[in-house]
Amino acid sequence: MTATRTFSLSRLMRPHIATLKPYSSARDEYSGSEGIFLDANENPWGSVTTQLLNRYPDPYQQALKSRIAELKHVPQEKIFLGNGSDEAIDLLYRAFCEPYLDNVIICPPTYGMYEVSAEINCVEVRRIPLSADFQLRPDAIIEAADWHTKMLFICSPNNPTANSMHLEDIRFLLERFEGLVVIDEAYIDFSQQPSCITLLEVYPNIVVLQTFSKAWGLAALRLGMAFASAEIIGVLNKIKPPYNVSGVAQRLALEGLNNQRQFQEMVSQTLEQRQWLSHALACLPEVLHVYPSDANFLLVKVKRPKEMYDFLISRKIIVRDRSRLALCEGCLRITVGTAEENQQLVAAMSQF
């Protein structure tokens, strides 16, 4: 961080969160693993399922976090795990944004949850659209910010435009923006660009979000990661529901992390298929443009988006119609599928 600016997290926090006394769970008060546990009103006999699930899980997911720490080269105290990254987004609002007073900046077209979460929490949203080439407009963002602008959401690679934001712009904003800069890296495993996790050491106001829902193939597990200073992570831990990540999720995610080979294999298949699909689609007469992608989906401009969408539905192929979003006029968002799925999509679109 530049020496010209001092960053104070307590200035950003909602005052009542700073003084909040958090719930203390049974596992907060005694965290050993040996003994006769009669403190949490659990069922001592077992579970009605084949998996044993009668005991409450570790509220801070330490076994899982220590594995993530190794993998990401981030100390455990800088990692938060939530019920999807969506939970981390909501907790950030609840910790830092005072309803009817504070505001956040988003850069549309982008992921819808930043705005929905703002609305749920009665927080004003300031929209600074991306440029025509889907990049951030750093000067306009700084200009739009005031004392009450607590967070800036940057999605990179961005959903639905599929591109990564320029790192120089992200660094400029980390230096100049006075609130938290939340960088959503849900698609980072498919990207050419390195993760911003390395910037954790440099900027006290960075929050990086990643998820198990995409490249890890664990969307049903509901597990998201936030990486930030120990101070910011401490605030999220203080306000999270005590057992926000289930025991099943913790166990299965650990199992998944030890299966790097399949992860790598699935990512490289996706990259290969992304390239194939991008070329195949670009050759279709109905397709006007296939945007470059750093993610596991393609943004595709077609001549008649609504008609194409309905036609594909009639063939039982479901894509996302993004054609009514500003800057995405005429566009469908298409997830990269398996080789066979992609061939069927291209065959169907060529019959339109």
Ligand X SMILES: *Cc1c(COP(=O)(O)O)cnc(C)c1O
Q: Which residues bind ligand X (CB under 6 A)?
A: 84-86, 111, 155, 159, 184, 186, 211, 213-214, 219, 224
| Count of Cβ atoms closer than 10 Å to residue 73 Cβ | 9
Closest CB 119 distance from ligand X, rounded Å: 17
Question: In this structure, what token pair is assigned to residue 171?
Answer: 């660094």
Edge-first strand order for the sheet with 224-227 is 79-82, 224-227, 206-211, 180-184, 149-155, 103-106, 124-127
The string over 113-128, giving b where at least 16 C-beta atoms fall within 10 Å of a residue's C-beta and e elsewhere, is bbbebbeebebbbbeb
Cβ proximity to ligand X: between 84 and 178 the closer is 84
Q: How far is the CB of 34 from ligand X (least distance, A)?
A: 34
Pick the closer one to ligand X by CB: 103 or 296. Answer: 296
Q: Could you tell me the smallest distance in angstroms from the CB atom of residue 226 to ligand X?
A: 10
We find the least distance from the C-beta atom of residue 90 to ligand X, in angstroms, to be: 10
3-state secondary structure 271-297: HHHHHHHHHHHHCCCCEEEECCCCCCE
The residue number whose beta carbon is nearest to ligand X equals 84
> Which of residues 211 and 323 has its CB atom nearest to ligand X in the complex?
211
- For residue 338, the tally of other CB atoms under 10 A from its CB is 11
- Shortest distance (Å) from residue 145 CB to ligand X: 22
With a CB cutoff of 8 Å and minimum separation 6, the contacts of 350 are: 284
Q: Which lies closer to ligand X via its Cβ, residue 203 or residue 297?
A: 297
